C-alpha cells in the first residue's frame, strides 16, 4: 500500500501525561488493537517521559510500562510498536529490554540543542535493528540553522528519520515551515513533525510541515496528548484524504476508536484550557501543565503565573523540579506583597 505520509500515533505515550500515567493493560490493548486494525503503521507506547520515566520527578505509572508495551506488541499484527527514550532518563539497558519485548521502533529524544547526547542510543537502536528516530524537543527554542545542525548530528549517528518536535505548541506556522525547510536543505533522510495544539495551531503547523516536505507525522487520537494534545489523528486523516494525500489508515475505524474507546479514557475532555493556552503562549513544555496545576493548588496561587515564569526562565524537559520551586517563590512574593 502506498503511503505519502507515515503516521505515528502517540496517544499511548504522549497521552500518558494527560491522564497522570494511569493507563491500564486493558486500555492499551483496546487502543493498540484498534489502531492496528485501522492500519496505523507506528504506535508509540511508553511512560509519557519515555522509558523509565515512572518516578516521583515525572509521575509514577499505574502499570509498569514494560507490561503495557508487551500487551501492545501482543495485539499488533501489522503495526510496529515504538518506544520513546530520553537519554538520562532511559538507558541503553532499557532500550535492550524494550527490543526484547518485540518493539520495532525507538525514538531518541533530546532537547533541541543537545543532539550529541543521543549518539550511543541511536547507535544501539540501529544495532538492535529498530527503526530509529531522532526527536528534537522544544524546537521553538532553536533557530532553524541550529536545529538543522542538530538534526545533522542525529543523521550522522544513523537515525532513519529526524523529527522537529513542538513540545510547547509554541511554533507559529511560518516558524514551523522555516524549520522544516532548514532541515530539508541539510538532511538526506525523512523529516518528521510532532505538534501540540496549545495555540490551536497543531493542524495548521502540521500541514505547513507537510507542504515543506515533512513526511513522518505524529498525531494523537481524540487529541490524547500533553497540554491541549497533539494534532488530532482522525481529523488529520480526514483533512489529508480531502487533499489527496495517502496515509493508508482507515478513517472510519479511527473515528470509531476515538469515539468509543479513547473518549471514555479521558479524565476530562481535551480542550484548550487557559493553562494549555499559556503553555503555547509562554513556550513551556506541555507535560508541565498538570505539575503546575498541582503546585498552584498546593501554594494557593494561579497556575498561569507559574507557567509564565517557567517560560521566562526557559525551563526545559527534565527540570520538573523547578515547578515547585517557582510556585514557592511566587507564593512567598504574594504573601510579602500582601503584608506591605
Interface characters, 166-185, with ligand LCEJXURD (x: CB under 6 A)? -x------------------
> Which H or E element spans position 6?
strand 6-9
Q: Is 42 annotated as catalytic?
A: no
Residue 325 burial class via C-beta count within 10 angstroms: exposed 0-12, middle 13-18, buried 19 and up: middle
Phi, psi (rounded to 5 degrees) for 102: 105, 15
User: What is the residue whose three cell numbers read 538507558?
Assistant: 91
Q: How far apart are CA 274 and CA 60, in angstroms?
A: 25
Q: Which is nearer to ligand LCEJXURD, 33 or 140 (CB)?
A: 140
250 is in an annotated binding site: no
3-state secondary structure 181-198: HHHHHHCCCCEEEECCCC
21 is in an annotated binding site: no
14 binds ligand LCEJXURD (CB under 6 A): yes
DSSP 8-state assignment for residue 87 = B
Residue pair 62/24 in contact (Cβ under 8 Å)? The answer is: yes
- Kindly state the smallest distance separating residue 88's Cβ from ligand LCEJXURD, in Å: 12
256 is in an annotated binding site: no
List the single partner that 109 binds among Mn ion, ligand LCEJXURD, none, CB under 5 to 8 Å by kind.
ligand LCEJXURD
List the single partner that 317 binds among ligand LCEJXURD, Mn ion, none, CB under 5 to 8 Å by kind.
ligand LCEJXURD
16 is in an annotated binding site: no
167 is in an annotated binding site: yes
Q: Dump strand ranges (E) for 39-182.
A: 42-44, 80-85, 105-111, 131-137, 161-165
14 is in an annotated binding site: yes
54 binds ligand LCEJXURD (CB under 6 A): no
Helix intervals (H) in the chain? 14-18, 25-37, 65-75, 92-100, 119-127, 144-157, 173-186, 202-211, 233-242, 251-256, 274-282, 288-299, 303-312, 321-339
44 binds Mn ion (CB under 5 A): no
Among positions 71, 112, 137, 276, the unique one binding ligand LCEJXURD when judged by CB under 6 A: 137
14 binds Mn ion (CB under 5 A): yes
Q: How far apart are CA 115 and CA 150, in angstroms?
A: 5
165 binds ligand LCEJXURD (CB under 6 A): yes
Residues forming contacts to ligand LCEJXURD in the complex (CB under 6 A) are 14, 48-50, 86, 109, 137, 165, 167, 194, 226, 286-287, 317
Q: Which segments are annotated as binding site?
A: 13-14, 167, 194, 196, 285
- Residues making up the annotated binding site for Mn(2+) are 14, 194, 196
Q: Provide the annotated binding site for substrate.
A: 13-14, 167, 194, 285
Amino acid at each position: 500500500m502506498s503511503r505519502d505520509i507515515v503516521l505515528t500515533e502517540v496517544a499511548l505515550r504522549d497521552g500518558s501525561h494527560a491522564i497522570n500515567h494511569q493507563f491500564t493493560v486493558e486500555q492499551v490493548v483496546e487502543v493498540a488493537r484498534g489502531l492496528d486494525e485501522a492500519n496505523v503503521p507506528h504506535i508509540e507506547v511508553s511512560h509519557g517521559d519515555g522509558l523509565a520515566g515512572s518516578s516521583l520527578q515525572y509521575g509514577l505509572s499505574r502499570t509498569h510500562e514494560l507490561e503495557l508495551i508487551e500487551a501492545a506488541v501482543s495485539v499488533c499484527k501489522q503495526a510496529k510498536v515504538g518506544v520513546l527514550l530520553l537519554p538520562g532518563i532511559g538507558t541503553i539497558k532499557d532500550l535492550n529490554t524494550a527490543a526484547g519485548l518485540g518493539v520495532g521502533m525507538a525514538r531518541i529524544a533530546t532537547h533541541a540543542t543537545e543532539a550529541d547526547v543521543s549518539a550511543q542510543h541511536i547507535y544501539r537502536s540501529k544495532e538492535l535493528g529498530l527503526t530509529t528516530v531522532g526527536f528534537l524537543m522544544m524546537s521553538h527554542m532553536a533557530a532553524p540553522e541550529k536545529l538543522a545542525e542538530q538534526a545533522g548530528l542525529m543523521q550522522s549517528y544513523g537515525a532513519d528519520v529526524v523529527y522537529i518536535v513542538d513540545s510547547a505548541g509554541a511554533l507559529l506556522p511560518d516558524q514551523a515551515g522555516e524549520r522544516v525547510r532548514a532541515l530539508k536543505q541539510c538532511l538526506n533522510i525523512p523529516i518528521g513533525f510532532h505538534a501540540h495544539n496549545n495555540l490551536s495551531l497543531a493542524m495548521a503547523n502540521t500541514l505547513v510541515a507537510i507542504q515543506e516536505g515533512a513526511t513522518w507525522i505524529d498525531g494523537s487520537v481524540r487529541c490524547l496528548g500533553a497540554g491541549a494534545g497533539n494534532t488530532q489523528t482522525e481529523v488529520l486523516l480526514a483533512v489529508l484524504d480531502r487533499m489527496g494525500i495517502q496515509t493508508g489508515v482507515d478513517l472510519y475505524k479511527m473515528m470509531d476508536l476515538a469515539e468509543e474507546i479513547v473518549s471514555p479514557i479521558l479524565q476530562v475532555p481535551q480542550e484548550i484550557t487557559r493553562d494549555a493556552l499559556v503553555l503555547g503562549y509562554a513556550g513551556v513544555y506541555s507535560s508541565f501543565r498538570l505539575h503546575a496545576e498541582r503546585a498552584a493548588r498546593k501554594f494557593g496561587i494561579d497556575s498561569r503565573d507559574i507557567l509564565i515564569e517557567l517560560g521566562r526562565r526557559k525551563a526545559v524537559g527534565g527540570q520538573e523540579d523547578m515547578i515547585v520551586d517557582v510556585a514557592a517563590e511566587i507564593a512567598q512574593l504574594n504573601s510579602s506583597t500582601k503584608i506591605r
